[in-house]
Amino acid sequence: MEIFPVLLIAIPLGGAFLIPILYKAWNRLAEIVAGLCLAAVLALSIYLAFFLVPGKPLVYLFGNWPVPLGIAFTVDRLSSFMLLVVSILVFFSYIFAIRYMDHFTGSGKFYTLYLLMLVGMNGVVMTGDLFNMFVFIEIASISSYALVAFGTEAEELEAGFKYMVMGEIASMMILLAIAFIYAATSTLNLADISRSFAAMDKTPGFWFVLILLMSGFSIKAALVPFHSWLPDAHPSAPAPISALLSGVFIKVLGVYAMARILFNVYGVSRASYPAVFNALLILGLASIIIASLLALYQKDYKRLLAYSSISQIGYIVLALGIGNEFALIGALAHILSHSLGKGLLFLTSGSVVYRVGERDITKFTGGLGKQMPWTSLSYNLGALSVAGMPPFLGFFSKLFIILGAVKAGFIVPAVVAGLFAVVTLGYLLKITNKVFWGKEGIKGIKESPFVMVFAMVSLVVLLVAGGAFFFWLKPHLLQPAADVLLKGTEYAEIVFRIGAGG
Amino acid sequence: MIILVASLILFLVGLYAIITKRNMIKVAVGFSLIEYSVNFLFAIVGFRPGALPPILQAVEVGKVYSDPLPQALVLTAIVIGLGVTAFMLSLILRLYNRIGSFDLEEIQRLKG
């Protein structure tokens, strides 16, 4: 089990290395190698997510250097939870992509970038070293820029360029903050930085570095003042990539990194530094309100879903800003439910584009539900879950966020969160109304190929099962992950206890 | 302190280029400036006044050694910067082939 963190990087990285060599021999070899790698990653992540002992993280020391000296991977229950979220959606998007990518050339390049993006996300989640985290952020980001521009039409290249400009500004802010942190503490290990910060005077420079980091991660997470790139970038990518970018990418690079640094490295809590948490609360509320209202006016299938992603990220950040136990469990549950739900919705958009070749919903005459029943069913159930209707997983995640807000005495955010769940349902039903319901359909359209339907229906089943077994998932998956955040700087002590021996 | 301010000024010059310039090549140059300002800052972090090179031959107590780690970090950051610049220039080239212009206003198609 000690070797698992390395395998989670090495398997997809090895696959990404092999595919460009092998796919020249036989095109399908790219898919086979990628599929084997992703299945292995999924199996390892499921094992880690359920069988890792809470409070006893895996610490893998590279080169056997003890903790503050070398690079260490530290996989605790929060990391393993994020690994599970990432690998589930990556696996089902891959199954969808097998047929969807028929429309594109260069499947070898696609799967290479796909696996590299997975390497980057897994690395960000597992690493216990700040500079190493930056390197993995860049691996994931550069592959995602390439995947957004994968179609190489003018619009896709433009979206890729815009995304790259914003993403690189964010990365450079993060790197600048890392340089300042290294200058102040002479260490890069997250646990060691946490110890140094605890002993340090809280000067204005200390908070300036935090603001630099928060701005960088907010751009990566597309919170509202920093969101302008997302509605261009996510719809321009091929559908499985849109699903991944909206489903897990912004959560891993934005929300997870932000939460890890705030709670475990800076060790702030709502009681000690309310200003930091109020800032998150305001960013979250602004994202929910503004992005939901903008989503109501969208005419493009995928662009509407992209605005919806911004508003759902707002819910997660709002919950982090509330910062009590209920809200954090809600935030983690929402990471899971939104990654499955929004991933599913983007896959249905891919299914519609695959058969109809059109994304502008004003050009649809409705009635697609009769010809594509599985896609229609998946879209509607996914929309209900993203909006937060019972009995799906999305209901429980929003319920816990709202309960947390009420418990902490934030009545206005609780009301806004409840109210905008209805707005979410409103704009998502707009697509149902224009595309899937109604009598006349477009002639000669039939249901998408079996593997695409299989990927979508599997995600629906997971959403329903997540809702049905939520009270089993809560103690076994969500509570241990939330505990990591709630314990704050105890993270450093645990990592030193396990990793300092060598 | 002067060096810190100098690298921050270089960072802001790069940011100015990215925000105000309409020519995409100039935006890419802005990114190179930002990258080098951060690399510069990193390299300076390891400097100690009057320090010895960090090669220990015997344990000498009380001597000041310069920090070798930032140089390794800067090397990594330079390689990442190379990847970013190369990919950005190739994107710009593909856009130029499609549209025949480096002007950001002319390539603007996506909005809403």
Helices (H) then strands (E): counts for chain B: 4, 0
Q: Chain A residues with CB inside 8 Å of B22's CB?
A: none
Residues in chain A: 502
Is the model's pLDDT at A13 over the cut of 80? yes
Write down the pLDDT at residue A502: 45
Alpha helices in A127-229 (DSSP H): 130-148, 154-185, 190-199, 204-221
Q: Chain A residues with CB inside 8 Å of B42's CB?
A: 179, 182
The residue that leads in pLDDT, B58 or B93, is B93
What tens digit of pLDDT does each residue of A285-318 get? 999 999 999 999 999 999 999 999 999 999 999 9
Q: What is the mean pLDDT of residues A5-22?
A: 93
Mapped onto helix, strand or coil, the DSSP state of residue A129 is strand
Cβ within 8 Å, pair A154-B95: yes
Instruction: For an interface test with B, give the residue of A175, A229, A362 to mutate (most B CBs within 10 A).
Output: A175
Burial class (CB in 10 A: 0-12, 13-18, 19+), A443: exposed
At residue A144 the predicted structure's pLDDT band, cuts being 50, 70 and 90, is very high
Select the residue of A146, A153, A179 nearest B87 (Cβ to Cβ): A146
At residue A443 the predicted structure's pLDDT band, cuts being 50, 70 and 90, is confident
Cβ within 8 Å, pair A169-B15: yes
In chain B, the residue whose alpha carbon lies closest to the alpha carbon of A232 is B110
In chain B, the residue whose alpha carbon lies closest to the alpha carbon of A171 is B35
CA angle A328, A263, A336 (to 5 degrees): 35
Select the residue of A157, A231, A299 nearest B98 (Cβ to Cβ): A157
- The CA distance from A232 to the nearest CA of chain B, in Å, is 7
Interface residues of chain A, partner chain B, Cβ below 8 Å:
131, 135, 138, 142, 145-146, 149, 152-155, 157-162, 164-165, 168-169, 172, 175-176, 179, 182-183, 186, 188, 231-232, 236, 297-300, 303
Cβ within 8 Å, pair B80-A164: no
Residue A119: HSE in the Cβ half-sphere, 13 Å Cα cutoff? 26
Cβ within 8 Å, pair B109-A158: yes
Per-residue DSSP letter, A200: S
Nearest of A117, A377, A78 to residue A250 by alpha carbon: A117
Q: What is the mean pLDDT of residues B68-80?
A: 92
At residue B65 the predicted structure's pLDDT band, cuts being 50, 70 and 90, is confident
Dist. CA A236–CA A220, nearest whole Å: 17
Q: What is the mean pLDDT of residues A152-162?
A: 90
At residue A148 the predicted structure's pLDDT band, cuts being 50, 70 and 90, is very high
DSSP, residue by residue, A238-299? -HHHHHHIIIIIHIIIIIIHHHIIIIIII---TTT-HHHHHHHHHHHHHHHHHHHHHHHT--
The residue that leads in pLDDT, B108 or A61, is A61
Q: Where are the domains of chain A?
A: 298-468
Instruction: For an interface test with B, give the residue of A139, A172, A310 to mutate (most B CBs within 10 A).
Output: A172
The residue that leads in pLDDT, B104 or B35, is B35
Mapped onto helix, strand or coil, the DSSP state of residue A189 is strand
Interface A-B: count of C-beta contacts within 8 A? 84
Q: Which amino acid is at A448?
A: S
Is the model's pLDDT at A465 over the cut of 50? yes
Dist. CA A168–CA A174, nearest whole Å: 10
Instruction: For an interface test with B, give the residue of A116, A117, A165 to mutate (most B CBs within 10 A).
Output: A165
Cβ within 8 Å, pair A182-B11: no
Cβ within 8 Å, pair B91-A157: yes
Per-residue DSSP letter, A69: T
Select the residue of B76, B107, B112 nearest A154 (Cβ to Cβ): B107
Residue whose pair of structure tokens reads 């050694």 in the numeric block? B65
Cβ within 8 Å, pair A131-B73: yes
Burial class (CB in 10 A: 0-12, 13-18, 19+), A160: buried
Task: State the maximum Cα–Cα separation within chain A, in Å, rounded to a whole number.
Answer: 70
Q: How much helix, strand and coil, in percent to the nearest 5, is found in chain B? A: 70, 5, 30
Contact A424, A433 (CB under 8 A): no
Select the residue of B11, B34, B88 nearest A164 (Cβ to Cβ): B88
Domains of chain B: 2-48+66-104 (1.10.287.3510)
By mean pLDDT, which of A13-22, A401-410, B12-21, B44-53 is the weakest?
B44-53
Q: What is the mean pLDDT of residues A144-170?
A: 92
Q: What is the mean pLDDT of residues A419-436?
A: 91
Dist. CA A247–CA A459, nearest whole Å: 12
Per-residue DSSP letter, B100: S
Dist. CA A86–CA A75, nearest whole Å: 14
Burial class (CB in 10 A: 0-12, 13-18, 19+), A202: exposed
Contact A255, A222 (CB under 8 A): no
At residue B111 the predicted structure's pLDDT band, cuts being 50, 70 and 90, is low
Per-residue DSSP letter, A58: E
Cβ within 8 Å, pair B45-A138: no
CA angle B50, B55, B59 (to 5 degrees): 90
Asked if the bond preceding A391 is cis, omega within 30° of 0, the reply is yes
Q: For chain B, give the percent of residues with pLDDT over 90.
A: 51
Q: Which run of H or of E encompasses A323? A: none
What tens digit of pLDDT does each residue of A222-262 get? 998 899 899 999 999 999 999 999 999 999 999 999 999 99
- The CA distance from A150 to the nearest CA of chain B, in Å, is 11
Instruction: For an interface test with A, give the residue of B21, B94, B96, B106 to mutate (most A CBs within 10 A).
Output: B94
At residue B45 the predicted structure's pLDDT band, cuts being 50, 70 and 90, is confident
Cβ within 8 Å, pair A157-B94: yes
Dist. CA A459–CA A263, nearest whole Å: 31
Per DSSP, what are the bridge partners of residue A127? A73
Select the residue of A142, A161, A175 nearest B38 (Cβ to Cβ): A175
Is the model's pLDDT at A483 over the cut of 70? yes
pTM: 0.95
Nearest of A330, A341, A345, A342 to residue A473 by alpha carbon: A330
Q: Chain A residues with CB inside 8 Å of B110's CB?
A: 155, 158-159, 162, 232, 236
Q: Chain B residues with CB inside 8 Å of A159's CB?
A: 110
Q: What is the mean pLDDT of chain A?
A: 91
Write down the pLDDT at residue A25: 85
Cβ within 8 Å, pair A303-B35: no
